[in-house]
């Protein structure tokens, strides 16, 4: 059920199989394994050690990772988008009466996200939230608050690698079951950003839509060829 890419264990099943898998776990860090995030892990000892933990599960979130799986001749079944997994976990939490916590982005975006989630999932148990403007090396009050609430899932939207660094530093001390860095997903749930049309998503071109809408992202695309070159040299 896993594909080895540069030493990383990438989940190779489909999205339903992934959800069935994580529901059985007491503690899990879900990593949206696009080339940028995986490259950050290769260049940061804290992240790399966390990504290699048994409690960490990397999903193939990105066409670059899907291509890499084909290069090593052990293709994943499908791309698994982090935002869709986040929605699946929120829906599961709603169905089971479990609590969630939102951490990151701006207060006004968090509030819009919360309002939209509660409209979509009435009585969703959002236990707490906090913006992303704090020192991750000195945030004892936030850690204490999260632990007092004991959410089932915590979604961290502070961009990569900051969100993964936060999870790596505090995962063992936090009383949560599911940890997930979600990047700009809260912006989407808030209605501030739109996802690509379904046809673009289905053919792996969502990245092009995002770059067209947010041109500043174009510099980040260089992580894809660099990652694939590294895979080619190490396969």
Distance from C-alpha of 2 to C-alpha of 207, rounded to nearest angstrom? 24
Query: In this structure, is residue 36 part of a structural domain?
Result: no
Average pLDDT over residues 154-169: 97
Strand partners, 153: 100, 178
Residue with tokens 């988008």: 81
Average pLDDT over residues 199-210: 73
Sequential DSSP letters for 136-193? TTS-HHHHHHHHHH--SEEEEES-TTHHHHHHHHHGGGS--SEEEE-TTHHHHHTTSS
Average pLDDT over residues 35-50: 96
Range of the domain at 88: 81-193
Determine the pLDDT at residue 109: 97
Determine the pLDDT at residue 180: 98
Query: In this structure, is residue 198 part of a structural domain?
Result: no
Determine the pLDDT at residue 216: 64
Q: Are strands 28-32 and 178-181 parallel, antiparallel or unpaired?
A: parallel
Determine the pLDDT at residue 223: 87
Output the average pLDDT for the chain.
93
The answer to whether 173 and 199 have CB atoms below 8 angstroms apart is no
Determine the pLDDT at residue 185: 96
Query: In this structure, is residue 208 part of a structural domain?
Result: no
Helix or strand run (H / E) with residue 74 = none
- Please check the confidence at residue 14 and state whether its pLDDT lies above 80: yes
Query: In this structure, is residue 18 part of a structural domain?
Result: no
Query: In this structure, is residue 76 part of a structural domain?
Result: no
Determine the pLDDT at residue 199: 79
The CATH number for 128's domain is 3.40.50.2300
Determine the pLDDT at residue 97: 97
Distance from C-alpha of 83 to C-alpha of 77, rounded to nearest angstrom? 18
Count how many domains the chain has. 1
Band of the pLDDT at 208, cuts 50, 70, 90? low
Query: In this structure, is residue 157 part of a structural domain?
Result: yes
- Please check the confidence at residue 20 and state whether its pLDDT lies above 70: yes
The torsion angles phi and psi of 142, rounded to 5 degrees, stand at -65, -45
Query: In this structure, is residue 49 part of a structural domain?
Result: no
Query: In this structure, is residue 45 part of a structural domain?
Result: no
Q: How far is CA 117 from CA 5, 23, 123, in A?
A: 35, 21, 9
């Amino acid at each position: 059920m896993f594909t080895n890419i540069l030493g990383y264990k990438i989940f190779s099943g489909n999205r339903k199989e992934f959800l069935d898998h994580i529901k059985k776990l007491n503690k899990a860090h879900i990593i949206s394994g696009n080339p940028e995030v995986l490259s950050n892990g290769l260049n940061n000892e804290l992240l790399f050690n966390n990504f290699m933990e048994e409690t960490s599960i990397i999903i193939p979130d990105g066409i670059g990772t899907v291509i890499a799986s084909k290069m090593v001749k052990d293709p994943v079944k499908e791309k698994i988008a982090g935002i869709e997994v986040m929605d699946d976990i929120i829906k599961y939490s709603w169905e089971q009466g479990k609590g969630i916590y939102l951490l990151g982005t701006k207060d006004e975006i968090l509030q819009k996200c919360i309002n939209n989630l509660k409209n979509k999932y009435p009585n969703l148990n959002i236990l707490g939230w906090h913006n992303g403007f704090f020192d991750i090396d000195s945030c004892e009050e936030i850690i204490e608050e999260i632990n007092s609430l004991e959410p089932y899932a915590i979604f961290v939207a502070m961009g990569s690698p900051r969100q993964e660094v936060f999870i790596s530093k505090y995962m063992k001390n936090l009383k949560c079951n599911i940890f997930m860095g979600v990047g700009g997903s809260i912006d989407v749930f808030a209605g501030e950003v739109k996802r690509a049309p379904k046809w673009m998503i289905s053919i792996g071109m969502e990245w092009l839509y995002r770059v067209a809408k947010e041109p500043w992202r174009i510099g980040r695309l260089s992580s894809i060829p660099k990652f694939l070159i590294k895979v080619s040299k190490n396969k």
